[in-house]
Amino acid sequence: MHELSIMQSALNQALREAGLAGASRVHEIRLRIGVLSGVVPDALRFAFEALAPGTAAHGAVLTIEEVPARFWCAACHRDFVAANFYAECPDCGATSGELRAGRELELSSLEVDHV
């Protein structure tokens, strides 16, 4: 259950950035989480409910964009979304070791009070 510490890091960063912008309330926190990041979005939501009370993000919406695993096929010169995490090009069947997206653990943006 490392989601608790990951959510705590994201929340700390969000509160710090909101504070630097002079905002007193955080209305929405947006995360981008890759499907190969090893982090479960539902566990992040659960952690957020536990961590947000008592902070400027209490009551804020947590929006999580799940980023699919995308690989690059060198033979076809295109990228593809991996079905079942299989790193095999759906067109030519070649396996790819080059992951282009899917490991993101990112605090992408915040909605805060306008100052």
Residues that bind other proteins (CB under 8 A): 1-2, 5-6, 9-10, 13-14, 17-18, 21, 23, 27, 31, 36-39, 70, 72, 77-79, 84-88, 95-101, 103-115
- From the CB of 42, what's the least distance to other proteins, in Å? 13
> Residue 30 and residue 65: Cα distance in Å, rounded?
8
7, with CB counted inside 10 A (0-12, 13-18, 19+), is: buried
**C-beta of 42 vs 114, nearer to other proteins:** 114
Which residue in 76, 67, 75 sits closest to 100, CA to CA? 67
- From the CB of 77, what's the least distance to other proteins, in Å? 6
Which residue in 107, 103, 113 sits closest to 29, CA to CA? 107
- From the CB of 53, what's the least distance to other proteins, in Å? 20
